Amino acid sequence: MANTPSGKSSGRGQRELRVRVKTAKGRKLSSTLWLERQLNDPYVQRARKEGYRGRAAYKILELDDKYRFLVPGARVVDLGCAPGGWCQVAVERANALGEKSGKKVGRVLGVDLQEVEPIAGAEIHQLDFLSEGADDKVKAWLGGRADVVMSDMAASASGHKGTDHLRIVALCEAAAELAFDVLEPGGTFVAKVLAGGAEAELQAMLKRSFAKVANVKPPASRADSSEKFVVATGFKGRDGQGGDRDRDGDGDD
């Protein structure tokens, strides 16, 4: 299980130490508050210490601790993978580097609109997953279908809560559509959404296509954030119909 950072220092009665940041000339108050939150966030501190590219790594760690989908040998697709923290976790848990003796060796494929710094054990491609034929490219790169499709994507913030909610739900629905095309039967789909009431259609879509659908807010997700994650397990095919069985991704089956 992933340990939850305590955010406490040793000595002096375990009193918490908080860094205060003064607003510099020319810097907005919002930027100062963001910087202060980052400096005092125990997950940010832990990510630096443990070599992860961001605190988001602990969200997928905590979700996998509970649902166990990143198993050795798993073939994993990470949509919108920048900066790469989720890929780093997937490489470790799917044994993509073959470091776990006697365990199956997995594959980790990351895709993103922007270039991403290389990650040992992961294959990274610059790709718009919304583009035509993206699912075929993913299957070709993987050499078959995926066991897990995951997404921590969020649309650029507009400053309007309702608009942002609709955008991220639409992005999650698009990610689910790709998952339907590339997942193995029994596979898992994990994605970020924002709580807000407009995700009923997404939930219904997932429930038709997966055996179980859970909505989770992992401990690493900030308490003041409206984000949550859907974890859909036991893929049954699009709308529960089984889907095609082109297991090698070459379009011949």
> CA–CA separation, 22 vs 113, rounded Å?
35
Whether residues 32 and 100 fall in one domain: no
- Could you report the per-residue pLDDT of 162-216, keeping only the tens digit for each? 677 788 889 999 999 999 999 999 999 999 987 765 578 899 999 999 999 999 9
Binding residues for S-adenosyl-L-methionine: 84, 86, 112, 128, 152
- Could you report the per-residue pLDDT of 143-165, keeping only the tens digit for each? 999 999 999 997 766 666 667 77
pLDDT of residue 5: 55
Q: Please, which pLDDT band fits residue 248 given cuts at 50, 70 and 90?
A: very low
Supply the mean pLDDT for the chain. Answer: 83
Is 64 within 8 Å of 46 (Cβ atoms)? Answer: no
Write down the pTM of the prediction. Answer: 0.79
pLDDT of residue 28: 58
Picking from 10, 37, 52, the residue at the C-terminal end of a domain is 52
- pLDDT over 90 (residue 240): no
Whether residues 35 and 86 fall in one domain: no
Is 120 within 8 Å of 97 (Cβ atoms)? Answer: yes
Q: Please, which pLDDT band fits residue 26 given cuts at 50, 70 and 90?
A: low
How many Cα atoms are found within 13 Å in the side-chain-facing hemisphere of 225?
15
> CA–CA separation, 225 vs 223, rounded Å?
5
Position 13 in a domain: no
Q: Please, which pLDDT band fits residue 70 given cuts at 50, 70 and 90?
A: very high
Whether residues 89 and 35 fall in one domain: no
Whether residues 35 and 58 fall in one domain: no
Which of the following is catalytic: 139, 192, 207, 217?
Answer: 192
Whether residues 48 and 71 fall in one domain: no
Q: How many domains does the chain have?
A: 2
SS (H, E, C) the chain: CCCCCCCCCCCHHHCCCCCCCCCCCCCCHHHHHHHHHHHHCHHHHHHHHHCCCCCCHHHHHHHHHHHCCCCCCCEEEEECCCCCHHHHHHHHHCCCCCCCCCCCCCEEEEEECCCCCCCCCEEEEECCCCCCCHHHHHHHHHCCCEEEEEECCCCCCCCCHHHHHHHHHHHHHHHHHHHHHHEEEEEEEEEEEECCCCCHHHHHHHHHHEEEEEEECCCCCCCCCCEEEEEEEEECCHHHCCCCCCCCCCCCC
Q: For residue 192, indicate whether it is catalytic.
A: yes
Whether residues 228 and 213 fall in one domain: yes
Pairwise pLDDT comparison (33 vs 226), residue with the higher score? 226
Burial bucket for residue 47 (CB in 10 Å: 0-12, 13-18, 19+):
buried
- pLDDT over 90 (residue 141): yes
How many Cα atoms are found within 13 Å in the side-chain-facing hemisphere of 14?
3
Domain with residue 77: its CATH number is 3.40.50.150
Whether residues 39 and 130 fall in one domain: no
Whether residues 58 and 148 fall in one domain: yes
pLDDT of residue 146: 98
pLDDT of residue 241: 82
Q: Please, which pLDDT band fits residue 83 given cuts at 50, 70 and 90?
A: very high
- pLDDT over 50 (residue 247): no
Position 93 in a domain: yes
Domain region containing 130: 54-240
pLDDT of residue 31: 52
Gyration radius (Cα) of the chain, Å:
19
Whether residues 46 and 59 fall in one domain: no
Whether residues 65 and 33 fall in one domain: no
Is 59 within 8 Å of 152 (Cβ atoms)? Answer: yes
Whether residues 63 and 171 fall in one domain: yes
Whether residues 66 and 162 fall in one domain: yes
- pLDDT over 80 (residue 11): no
Position 121 in a domain: yes
